[in-house]
A and B are shown apart, each in its own frame.
Chain A
Amino acid sequence: MEGHDITWVSKLPFNDSFTSFLQSDSIPSFLRLGEDGNVFHVYHAILVVLILTVLVFIGYGKRSEDLVPEGRISIRNILEVLVEQLLKLIDNTMGHEGKKFLPLIGTLAIFILFCNLLGLIPGFLPPTDNINTTAACAIPVFFFYHYIGVRRHGWRYVKQFIGPFWPIAPLMFPIEVISHLARPLSLSLRLFGNITGDHIILAMSYGFILALGLGIFVSGIQALVFILLSMMYMSNALAEEH
């Protein structure tokens, strides 16, 4: 991706020293950054977090205990509509017990949505067009749904892995493990692939309002798909033993 080294982040004062620190020997070899690698997606992800934090502070800074919403369109109202829609979606997909997972699912949804949308602004990259960012979103989901499964079912959760009866357990166990491992991988690869492709199309055809519309559409759909699948995995883990 040749175009990637001309964004504003390469002009950051600490970029050079930080990149060469990540490439140096003080980092263990399996974590070390490659020769021509960069960490631009990390800066962009931090930027998204900062944008979201500022939005929340603007929206909720002053009168956070007001129950009555303001009469005009404000940042606070937009945020509340967003969270309300998310709650409705969670309620539809996971049932009433899904509400307590809003912190995780809502965070993922809003973070991924804003990451995807950041790529539509000229000069910015979507952080989600790097596999590390998407994997960082998918792996916590993987551990979390196993955690809630174990917490709900206790040791009986392991039963899901060994199939209906004991003799075929050696056969079922690798099958189950592989099908569970495929989940975080497919979650992260789907988001990464879609956003990379979308960003390339947008970069090739700037000025076409159609590509921008497509970009907004893909950004929303991919964020939606990510949280939908996460919710499906969670409700599968919570479901009763079949």
Chain B
Amino acid sequence: MENKKKLFREIGRYGAIGLEMGIAVVIGILVGFWMDSLFNTKPWLTLVFMLFGIAAGFKGLFRVLKYVEKNGLTDKE
């Protein structure tokens, strides 16, 4: 039972990365789109900020991996 509880906890923690990566790209595109309409530079800022968004998604993944490296895959009880 204790093991199962831990498993769900881990699934929750690492399953969260997927949504965060996707949303980072969406935020990047939206910010780029908004700035494009602000400065009249279609479509360049959208592309640039989409790349920023993708990088931000991987940054989030990287951060979780760092957390895993520090604390181990499962928490110490």
Contact = CB atoms under 8 A, between A and B. Distances in A.
A179 B13 contact: no
Interface residues of A, number: 22
A182 B9 contact: no
Contact of A179 (B19, B60, B66, B76): B60
B20 A186 contact: yes
Nearest to B12: A225
A182 B57 CA distance: 9
B16 A178 contact: no
B16 A225 contact: yes
Contacts of A176: 56, 59
A189 interface: yes
A236 B64 CA distance: 9
Contacts of A224: 8-9, 12
A164 B13 CA distance: 27
Interface string A207-242: 000000000000001001100110010001000001
A189 B12 CA distance: 14
A17 interface: no
Contact of A178 (B31, B63, B76, B77): B31
Interface of B is mostly: helix
A26 interface: no
Contact of A190 (B13, B16, B55): B16
Contacts of B19: 186, 189-190
A29 interface: no
Contacts of B16: 186, 190, 225, 229
Interface of A is mostly: helix
A92 B2 CA distance: 13
Nearest to B64: A232
B72 to A, nearest CB: 12
B33 to A, nearest CB: 14
A242 B55 CA distance: 19
A174 B23 CA distance: 15
A175 interface: yes
Interface in B43-77: 49, 52-53, 55-57, 59-60, 63-64, 66-67, 75-77
Interface in B1-15: 8-9, 12-13, 15
Interface of A: 92-93, 174-176, 178-179, 181-183, 185-186, 189-190, 221, 224-225, 228-229, 232, 236, 242
Interface of B: 8-9, 12-13, 15-16, 19-20, 23-24, 27-28, 31, 49, 52-53, 55-57, 59-60, 63-64, 66-67, 75-77
Q: Which 6 A-B pairs have the closest CB atoms?
A: A179-B56, A225-B12, A178-B56, A182-B24, A182-B23, A186-B20
29 contacts: A92-B76, A174-B49, A174-B52, A174-B56, A175-B55, A176-B59, A178-B27, A178-B31, A178-B49, A178-B53, A179-B24, A179-B57, A179-B63, A181-B27, A182-B20, A182-B27, A182-B57, A183-B20, A189-B23, A190-B19, A224-B8, A224-B9, A224-B12, A225-B13, A228-B9, A228-B13, A229-B12, A229-B13, A242-B66
